[in-house]
Amino acid sequence: MNHVSVGDCGCGHSFRRFVSAKEKQEFLEDYKDQLKKELDAVDEHLGEIKRK
């Protein structure tokens, strides 16, 4: 994984082809955080459905 999108849009495109190890780590940590938030939202929606 030598190239990663580091743009804010999340569209998967970046003007740069290669990023530093630090940038990769920051990207992956942010991605992990976004996945956790998504999972929390899914759990919340499931709880709402079950209460109906």
- pTM of whole model > 0.85? no
Instruction: Answer whether residue 44 shows pLDDT above 80.
Output: yes
Which DSSP symbol is given to 15? S
What is residue 23's predicted lDDT score, i.e. its pLDDT? Answer: 94
**Which residue, among 11, 2, 6, has the nearest Cα to 28 in the 3D structure?**
6
CA dist., res. 24 & res. 21, Å (int): 5
DSSP assignment letter at 16? -
Question: Around Cβ 29, how many Cβ atoms within 10 Å?
Answer: 10
Is residue 36 scored above 80 in pLDDT? yes
